[in-house]
Amino acid sequence: MKAFAPGRVNLIGDHTDYTGGLAMPMAIDLGTTVSGHPGGDVVELSSASERGTACVPLSVTRADLADLCPSWARYIGGVIHELRPTAGFAGTVTTTLPVGAGLSSSAALELATALVLGFRGSARDLAELCQRAEQTASGVPCGMMDQLASASGVEGHALLIDFSDLSVEPVPVPDGAEIVVVHSGQKRALTSSAYGERRAACDRAARIVGPLLGASVADLATIDDPVIYRRAHHVVTENERVRLFAAAFRAGDLAEAGRLMTESHQSLRDDFEVSTEVLDALVQRLVQTPGVHGARLTGAGFGGCAVALTDPGALRKGWVVQPSAGATVG
C-alpha cells in the first residue's frame, strides 16, 4: 500500500489563511510517499533521507508527542492522535521535497500518513484533520493552506482558496509561465511565538474592524496601535492582490501577475515583518534578472524559499515546479 502527497508553493496570499482571507497556492510535482503494510499496533516508518525510524504506538497521547524522536515522528504522532486508526503500519517514507524550506514537507508527510492509515473522505476533511495534527505536533497555530493545497491540487492549475468558506477554485497557470522556487540558503526558523504573535495581532485587528476579508484600507483608520495597523494593512492589501493576481492569470498577463508578487513581498517585509535580509536580497536579485516577471518569499517567511514567475529558462538555479494533482492513495 502506498500514498503520495505533494508539497505546495504559494504564489501569492501569505499570512491570510488564518484570517479567513484569500491565497493562491498550487500543489507541486515534489512530494512525499509513504509505502508499506498495514497491521500491528504501532506505526513504524523509516526514512530514506532523514535519520532514525519513527515508531509511534496507536495509543499515543497529546502529552507524548513532544518527546517523540526523530522530530518528524511528531507529525506521525499528530496524525495518529487525530485519526485514531484501528491498525498500525510498517513501511518507509521517501520524499523529493527539501525539508524545512517552506514547501510544506510536514503537510505532505501528514497527508500521506493519514491516507495509508485509512483516512477516506473529502479533500477538505483530510486537510482539516491534518491541520489539527500539525498544530498538535508543532505547537504552531498554523492555518490550513498547506494541507488544503496538498489535498486539492489540480494538474496545470493554481488554487484560488477563500478561507472564509474553504472554497477552492482551480485557475489555469498560463501557457509560457514558469514557476521557479529558489532556496535562500537560510533554513526556515519559524518559531511558534513569532507566528502566534502575527496571528494574535490579526485577531485583534478583526475584533476592532470586523473580518479583514470584508475590510478596506480606509476601515483600518480606527486601529490606534501602529503594529496591529501594519499587520492588518498587509492582510487587507494582500487579499486584494490575490484577487488581482487570479484575474491576471486568467488573462494570461504575466507582467501584472509578477508585479503583484513583488508587491506582496514588500508588504510581507514592511507591514508583516516576516522577511529576512537574505530573502530580501534574493528577491531583489531575482526581479532584476531578465525574463523574471516577479518574485516573493513564499510560506511563513523567516527564511526558506522565494518563488519567481518567469519566462521559460530565465533562471539557472532553483526548482522549476509544475502545478500538480493532490494527494492520492493506491
What is the set of active-site residues? 146
* CB nearer to ligand GLA: pick between 14 and 271: 14
The strand ranges marked E within 39-177 are: 42-47, 53-57, 89-95, 157-162, 167-172
Binding part of the chain for ligand GLA, among 10-18, 202-210, 218-226, 259-267 by CB under 6 A, reads 10-18
254-270 and 226-250 are packed helices; what angle lies between their axes, rounded to 10 degrees? 170
* CB nearer to ligand GLA: pick between 4 and 195: 195
Q: For ligand GLA, which residue of 15, 132, 241, 293 counts as binding (CB under 6 A)? A: 15
* CB nearer to ligand GLA: pick between 3 and 142: 142
**What's phi and psi for 160, nearest 5 deg?**
-85, 110
For residue 159, the tally of other CB atoms under 10 A from its CB is 24
Residue 6 CA to residue 153 CA, distance in Å, equals: 8
Amino acid at 15: H
Closest contact distance (angstroms) between CB of 234 and ligand GLA is: 11
Q: For ligand GLA, which residue of 4, 11, 17, 153 counts as binding (CB under 6 A)? A: 17
Does residue 18 belong to the site contacting ligand GLA (CB under 6 A)? yes
Binding part of the chain for ligand GLA, among 11-19, 68-76, 91-99, 108-116 by CB under 6 A, reads 11-19
What Cα–Cα distance (Å) separates residue 160 from each residue in 12, 177, 190, 205, 266? 10, 17, 25, 24, 21
Closest contact distance (angstroms) between CB of 213 and ligand GLA is: 15
Specify whether the CB–CB gap between 43 and 117 falls below 8 A: yes
Does residue 300 belong to the site contacting ligand GLA (CB under 6 A)? yes
Buried b (16+ CB within 10 A) or exposed e, 195-222: beebbebbeebbebbeebbebeeebbee
Residue 176 CA to residue 22 CA, distance in Å, equals: 25
Which residues in the 132-151 window bind ligand GLA by CB under 6 A?
A: 142-143, 145-146
Which residues in the 83-142 window bind ligand GLA by CB under 6 A?
A: 142
Binding part of the chain for ligand GLA, among 15-23, 31-39, 81-89, 212-220 by CB under 6 A, reads 15-23
Strand, coil or helix: what is 84? coil
* CB nearer to ligand GLA: pick between 194 and 244: 194
Q: What is the DSSP letter of 8?
A: E
∠ CA 245-98-146, nearest 5°, is 45
* CB nearer to ligand GLA: pick between 220 and 305: 305
* CB nearer to ligand GLA: pick between 58 and 283: 283
Does residue 299 belong to the site contacting ligand GLA (CB under 6 A)? yes
Residue nearest to ligand GLA (CB): 143
Query: Which residues in this chain contact ligand GLA in the complex, by CB under 6 A?
Result: 14-15, 17-18, 142-143, 145-146, 299-300
